Structure 1
Amino acid sequence: MDSTRDWRFLGSGASAWFDAPSMSAGAALVRRITTAQPDVDLRPGGLRVHLLQPDAELANSISAAAHELGLTADPSILQTMRLVIDSANPSSLMPFWQTVLGDPILSFRPTPSTPLSDRLHIDVVRTPDAVSAARAAIGQEPTGPYGVALTDTEGNVVDLVPGDRLTKDPSTADWQVLFAAMTYYSVGSPEKAAELASVVAGLADSAGLPLMVDIRPDGVTIDSGKDQWENGEGNARSDFVDLAARIQSAARDLKLTADLTRPRFIQLGLAAVDVPAVRAFWTAVLSYQPDPRQFLTDIFDPNRLNPVMFFQQTENHQHRNRIHIELLVPHDQATPRVEAAIAAGGRLITESTPSRHSLTDPEGNELDIVTFPQP
């Protein structure tokens, strides 16, 4: 499709990643490709551009613009993690998860019998109003040690957690803490979205604080990443609050309005008897990094493009949480990922087709590494 070989197919549309030395450098490409209206995830180290409908001419023009700006493509960074619920009756579970989550990270796979209970655990953090509305729609009182757990009819657990305001000061009224500090602005045009992204990138670069900026046709999400708004040396929290206030002021100068119902934070949890072994497997196969804080078991995508995973200790071999993850990677990355999985203690179950490799981690949790041919 693309003569520059920058683009890869990961199930839906075509994606490219371009390294950038700063957020402002990445935002320069956003401004150049505004009229194409792609989905863009802008990060401190670069940006992912996703075309929902593959278009060779458009992809080539975006690559040309990136190269003119001195940005280099790195297709090996591209990956999509998709969580799969095995269910004897997927249609019965969909309303629950659509109410709680409403996110394409989740899909369903029919199974001939009802799976074991407690197969997976997801943390979802939303605004207090959104959490209350979801609980009311589901008609279930939350349970668990923190009083936030909801369970679908097959025993899959979600902790639906209410967030909080970043501060009580009006200068950050658009911002919420949902494990990450986040805000979302509705935009009336792609030009306005690009303008906001450029302003945010400049402010973040000047403050020396990394941000995640997701640009979509209907709006822009600005996200600190999990706990990053309060991590760091010195007055990290106050520095971030100051940046958040500057971003809010700039957005309002652009006549943009925050939609407090849109932001949400999602992370995936996995219980394990041998946490270090299971954690090492997923760190290797996902090309993640371990959180440096000793009191956490989190691992995260260094490019902040996919969800955080965390690991919980359990002594019960029979009823530990089990998850099934599909990892969509470029066609030329499947073999290195399979090799990394096996080297980290995984086991190859089947290789039914060249495009799907099924593995398990050291405790039997399932992973499918999936690729799509490059036309």
Structure 2
Amino acid sequence: MDAQPNPNPNRPDLNQDQPDQDQSDRTAPLTGREFQRTPGTEQWRVLGDGAAAFFTGPPGSPNHALGAALARDILTDAAEGGHRAPDLDLRGHGLRVGLPWRPPGFTPEQVALAAAVTARATPLGLRADPSALQDLQLTFDAVDTDSVMAFWHEVTGHRRDEEDLRDPHRLLSPIWFQPMDEPRPLRNRLHLDLLATVEEVARTLEVIPELGAATTDAGPYGALVTDAEGNEADLLWREEGQDRWLADGLDLSDWRQVFDAQAWYPCDDTGTIVRFVTAVAELADTAAQPLRVAVRPGWVVVSTGKDGWENTDLAPLAAAVQATARGLGLRAASERARFLQLGIDAADVEGLRRFWCATLRYEPDPREHVTDIIDPRGIGMPLFFQEIDGGDQPRRAQRNRIHVDLFLPDDEVEARVAVAVAAGGRVLRDRAPFWWTIADPEGNEIDLSTSIGREEAWGD
């Protein structure tokens, strides 16, 4: 059984499009299509979790300050207008702005906010790049969805909704669960790595036996945990101090090393957030080093990207960020640090890397002996590849219980399908205009999806 991903999986999709509803009533919630067709939202796209826009500066060296200036204007406007600020993800090459989707649809206030953000970006020298937008989620097929969801709720720390798990901070990818008709008992070729603080991993390992799951000791660095249907996660770290970022002569005690070194700061004061984000951007640009800054309601999270802490030039920058935070009265909540990545077992590692780089628009990690592929936008989770015995035909023939969903702009999705096929993929299911299931050269699946038009198709 295969069901397509959608923002509201409680209602089935129909494979037909419907005319737009009357948009004259601006007080009514808007569908995704109506949102995109409203004047002022031309540079925005509706994806899996809501609407988003990506504003980028001139190419070249990292320029966090441009995105920080737009973030300042957005946060200030939100505070003065008394409305909720959007999600902000600052990178050295731009700023992603997200408006989360909530039932029953987008509000006129969100439309006005989207238009105002675009108007703020242009005078700053930022241009919108809709082609840079995508949302990645994971889907688990399960016989007993309640049991499997309960396990992954504990492992990820995501909030549990009716049919999916979502990171309450919208930093890590959501996981959607759908029923399958028959068990697939052999080991998946996909698994998750989850890194958290030593204390959080210890807490998780304590509750795993209560969930009908198994734990395999993988040595001092972590443990392999398996849910009742065989889906796996590697939990790291295990021993005291493994999650600390240590550098001679520097105080980095606010940071936690979870592959992606992170510093979490709770804050509800807009002025303090603006000053902190502006200062972090200036520090990063002065050091000519990339940092990632996420602003969510009540939180600012600064991070390095996977293995960024290995760059010795980043340690002094991280220490300066910490000193700035403390100078503004911010105190870290280190226990929040988490990191998620997806591992794929492959008989032909390089062949699968090429497929997934093309399909996700990722880039190969340039380090020797590292099989990772990474999102150049710094938004999506990394993927890595592990070699398996190509002769294990039963395992290679079984359909995985885990697959990837990629939500794309409606004006990008068909072109991405063509790219995936050109990279060696096969179209298994064509459910145009909403989604296409593509198998990579070894049978691992990805759904390339768009949300536009679904709400109209779900109607009467």
TM-score, with normalisation over the residues of structure 1? 0.94
Bigger drift between 34-43 and 326-335 goes to: 34-43
CA distance in 1, matches of 2:132, 2:358: 14
Q: Post-superposition shift, 1:289?
A: 0.3
Letter of the structure 2 residue corresponding to residue 159 of structure 1: D
Letter of the structure 2 residue corresponding to residue 318 of structure 1: P
Q: Residue 319 of structure 1 aligns to a residue in which SS?
A: helix
Q: Residue 224 of structure 1 aligns to a residue in which SS?
A: strand
Q: Post-superposition shift, 1:228?
A: 1.9
Q: Post-superposition shift, 1:43?
A: 0.5
The answer to whether the Cα contact below 8 Å between 2:222 and 2:235 also exists between their aligned partners in 1 is no
Q: Post-superposition shift, 1:144?
A: 3.8
CA distance in 1, matches of 2:270, 2:208: 36
The answer to whether the Cα contact below 8 Å between 2:250 and 2:316 also exists between their aligned partners in 1 is no
Letter of the structure 2 residue corresponding to residue 77 of structure 1: A
Letter of the structure 1 residue corresponding to residue 199 of structure 2: D
- Per-residue CA deviations over 1:97-153 (Å, capped at 9, x if unaligned) read 111112432221211112234323111111100000111121354434665111111
CA distance in 1, matches of 2:364, 2:415: 20
Letter of the structure 1 residue corresponding to residue 66 of structure 2: A
2:285 is equivalent to residue 205 of structure 1: yes
- Per-residue CA deviations over 1:145-196 (Å, capped at 9, x if unaligned) read 6651111111111001014211276721101111121111001233332322
CA distance in 2, matches of 1:129, 1:243: 26
1:184 is aligned to: 264
CA distance in 2, matches of 1:59, 1:287: 25
CA distance in 2, matches of 1:228, 1:170: 16
2:136 is aligned to: 81
2:162 is equivalent to residue 125 of structure 1: no
2:345 is equivalent to residue 271 of structure 1: yes
2:414 is equivalent to residue 335 of structure 1: yes
The answer to whether the Cα contact below 8 Å between 2:245 and 2:309 also exists between their aligned partners in 1 is no
Residues 229/147 of structure 1: CA separation in 2 closer, same or farther (3 Å cut): closer
CA distance in 2, matches of 1:116, 1:344: 30
1:30 is aligned to: 71
The answer to whether the Cα contact below 8 Å between 1:86 and 1:115 also exists between their aligned partners in 2 is no
CA distance in 1, matches of 2:127, 2:340: 30
CA distance in 1, matches of 2:438, 2:388: 22
CA distance in 2, matches of 1:48, 1:365: 29
Q: Post-superposition shift, 1:11?
A: 2.5
**Which residues in structure 2 correspond to 1:45-84 (within 5 Å)?**
45-53=93-101, 54=106, 55-84=110-139
Letter of the structure 2 residue corresponding to residue 149 of structure 1: L
- Per-residue CA deviations over 1:263-320 (Å, capped at 9, x if unaligned) read 1111100001111111111110000000111201110000111000000000123225
Unaligned runs of 5+ in 1: 232-236
CA distance in 1, matches of 2:186, 2:122: 50
2:358 is equivalent to residue 284 of structure 1: yes
**Which residues in structure 2 correspond to 1:303-314 (within 5 Å)?**
303-314=377-388
The answer to whether the Cα contact below 8 Å between 2:48 and 2:135 also exists between their aligned partners in 1 is no
Runs of 4+ aligned structure 1 residues displaced above 4 Å come to none
The answer to whether the Cα contact below 8 Å between 1:20 and 1:44 also exists between their aligned partners in 2 is no
1:234 is aligned to: none
1:161 is aligned to: 236
Q: Residue 109 of structure 1 aligns to a residue in which SS?
A: strand
The answer to whether the Cα contact below 8 Å between 1:117 and 1:156 also exists between their aligned partners in 2 is no
CA distance in 1, matches of 2:411, 2:252: 44
CA distance in 1, matches of 2:215, 2:444: 29
CA distance in 1, matches of 2:135, 2:114: 19
2:446 is equivalent to residue 370 of structure 1: no
The answer to whether the Cα contact below 8 Å between 2:438 and 2:445 also exists between their aligned partners in 1 is yes
CA distance in 2, matches of 1:10, 1:190: 27
CA distance in 2, matches of 1:227, 1:127: 16
**Out of 18, 39, 46, which is 1:9 matched to?**
46
- Per-residue CA deviations over 1:210-232 (Å, capped at 9, x if unaligned) read 0111110120111100112223x
User: In the comparison of the two structures, how many residue pairs are matched?
Assistant: 369
CA distance in 2, matches of 1:194, 1:115: 50
Could you say what the CA RMSD is over the residues aligned between the two structures, in angstroms? 1.8
CA distance in 1, matches of 2:125, 2:222: 51
- Per-residue CA deviations over 1:1-34 (Å, capped at 9, x if unaligned) read 3534110001232110000241111000011010
TM-score, with normalisation over the residues of structure 2? 0.77
The answer to whether the Cα contact below 8 Å between 1:268 and 1:307 also exists between their aligned partners in 2 is yes
2:56 is aligned to: 19
Letter of the structure 1 residue corresponding to residue 39 of structure 2: S
The answer to whether the Cα contact below 8 Å between 1:190 and 1:217 also exists between their aligned partners in 2 is no
The answer to whether the Cα contact below 8 Å between 1:88 and 1:114 also exists between their aligned partners in 2 is yes
Q: Post-superposition shift, 1:91?
A: 0.9
1:229 is aligned to: 309
Letter of the structure 2 residue corresponding to residue 11 of structure 1: G
The answer to whether the Cα contact below 8 Å between 1:8 and 1:16 also exists between their aligned partners in 2 is yes
